Amino acid sequence: MTRCIICDSDRLLIWLRLGEQKVLRCRDCDYAFRYPIPSQEELDSYMLASYKGEGLEETKDIFAHCGKGYGDDPIIKEYQETLARLGYYTDGRHLLDVGCGPGTFLDLARHSGWSVLGIDSCPSACAFAEKEFGLQVLNIQFEEAAPWPTPFDVITMWDFLEHVLNPAVVLTKANDKLKNQGLLFLALPNRRSLIYDLAEVLIKARLPLLRDQAQKLFHFSHISYFSMVSLQNLLQRTGFEIIEEHSMNPYLGRYQIPWYSKGFLQLVFNLAKLLKAQSRLWVIARKDKGLLNV
């Protein structure tokens, strides 16, 4: 019998059907996940294709513009504001970015006085980060990372946790790699948001054209679909205490989508802001001493 990856409950519902695949939701901890879960090899080849611009047409431009010439757009401002918040909560400046991709965030962090290290399982992303920014980046799976001589003050994971096979294993590892009272930062999609509610309705309505558009929110490399409740539950189980949490809208500027789709999405995001149902979760948590059983 299939059980919840996070709390081991067998009280699972089928939330959505995506062709051959399903998204299951746990009634006990609100965690939702793709089923059957893809293999690590399938995920790695999907991420490599995305990085090369062979994945979603809509995200091609994001991967093409992540070098030194990055603009002063809202994504960069979000990186800088996050560094400022992390700096407010800790005096330490030793930072690990897990799933660092091409290294834009790490480059900004280094220029703000942080001592940085990156990890990414995609070899092309690592090669880019080293060549473009001269960054130290390890091409390994975080779960398999060997011990470091000194633990980190801060571990950041931008749009990473939703892609991993077992988020509980990853956060337990993060807890292990942090100093006492060290900080974990997470940014990831929010399943309990207006855009996901709308996508759910369109997928269930079985109108082929709209359903195909809505299914793009559930692309293959996303294993987990978190709500703030399920993320709080996971953080508590893996030894973290949340000290700051927000939801926010994504920046649409770098997505290659037609103007009318962009206009429609902007309308949905404006409404989501009013309803406090925005589609990205932004969380800073502090390492707590006690680990509950995962």
Please give the structure tokens belonging to residue 123. 């070899």
Kindly list the distances between the CA atom of residue 45 and the CA atoms of 54, 124, 212, 221, in Å, as whole numbers in the listed order. 11, 11, 22, 10
Taking the least distance from each CB to Zn ion, the nearer of 26 and 157 is: 26
- Closest CB to Zn ion among 31 and 63? 31
Between residues 192 and 254, which has the closer beta carbon with respect to Zn ion?
Answer: 192
Q: Is residue 223 involved in binding Zn ion (CB under 5 A)?
A: no
Tell me the site size for Zn ion, rule CB under 5 A. 8
Report, in Å, the least distance between residue 294 CB and Zn ion: 11
Helix axes 104-111, 123-133, angle to 10 degrees: 30
94-98 and 115-119: which strand pairing? parallel
Pick from 4, 183, 231, 234 the residue near Zn ion by CB under 5 A: 4
CB of 3 to Zn ion, least distance (A): 8
Closest by CA position to 167, among listed 53, 281, 249: 281
Judged by CB, which is closer to Zn ion: 26, or 194? 26
Minimum CB separation of residue 235 from Zn ion in Å reads 14
Residues 6+ apart with CB under 8 A from 279: 189, 190, 193, 194, 195, 196, 247, 249, 250, 269, 272
Region near Zn ion per CB under 5 A, out of 3-11, 47-55, 140-148, 195-203 = 3-11
Of 1-9, 43-51, 138-146, 218-226: span binding Zn ion (CB under 5 A): 1-9
Scanning residues 29 to 48, which ones bind Zn ion (CB under 5 A)? 29, 31
Radius of gyration in angstroms for the set of CA atoms belonging to the chain, rounded to a whole number: 19
Query: Angle CA(40)–CA(45)–CA(49) in degrees, nearest 5?
Result: 145
- Kindly state the helix (H) or strand (E) to which residue 3 belongs, with its residue range: none
Instruction: Restricting to residues 186-215, name those near Zn ion by CB under 5 A.
Output: none
Judged by DSSP in three states, 249 sits in coil
Of positions 9, 45, 115, 270, contacts Zn ion by CB under 5 A: 9
Inter-residue contact 140 to 98 (CB < 8 Å):
no
294 near Zn ion, rule: CB under 5 A: no
From 5-13, 117-125, 151-159, 193-201, span contacting Zn ion (CB under 5 A): 5-13
Please, what is the minimum distance in Å from the beta carbon of residue 14 to Zn ion?
15
In the complex, minimum distance from the CB of residue 29 to Zn ion, in angstroms, rounded to a whole number: 3
Q: Among the candidate windows 9-17, 57-65, 150-158, 270-278, which touches Zn ion by CB under 5 A?
A: 9-17
For the bound state, the minimum distance from the C-beta of residue 6 to Zn ion, rounded and expressed in Å, comes to 5
* CA separation for the pair 105, 186 (Å, rounded): 13
Q: Do residues 65 and 104 make contact, with C-beta atoms less than 8 angstroms apart?
A: no
Residues 30 and 231: their CA atoms lie apart, in Å, by 9
Site for Zn ion in 12-31 (CB under 5 A): 26, 28-29, 31
Which residues bind to Zn ion, rule: CB under 5 A? 4, 6-7, 9, 26, 28-29, 31
